[in-house]
Amino acid sequence: MRYAAELGVRVSDQGINAFFETENRCDIVFDATSAACHIEHAQIFDALGLLAIDMTPSQIGECCVPALGLDEVLENKNISMISCGGQASIPVAQVLAKAIPGLTRVAVKSTVSSHPLVRVLWLIWTSIITTLKQD
């Protein structure tokens, strides 16, 4: 945060509450917190008239893979970016489907490095599984 502030970028350590301060207002918010937090955040962003790009697995917003079409989701104020694996593999699957006649199925395998991010990823996947079980 210090480095960003030195570059002249407005920063805050107030989390979601920072958006209630007029000087912190913006037009677009990328919410990369968690699915549980985005449920609350989505209501706040909507009340403030902000476009929310949901980077969590909350499944609240309109699902979007920009490489496949962004126009139809831009009329929504909450856009769900699905998963990073989906963002990477779906456009490739689309190209393959166009290039290979009769292609009906594509299998995708994603791996993640076992790094200190493992705990964070475990929390994210737990959130995804919980969300999917509710459907």
Give the whole-angstrom CA distance, residue 27 versus residue 51.
6
63 is catalytic: no
Determine whether 57 is exposed, middle or buried from the number of CB atoms within 10 Å of its CB (0-12, 13-18, 19+).
buried
Q: Tokens standing for 1? A: 């945060």
**List 26, 63, 64, 84, catalytic entry:** 84
Give the whole-angstrom CA distance, residue 77 versus residue 124.
23
Which residues are catalytic, by number?
A: 84
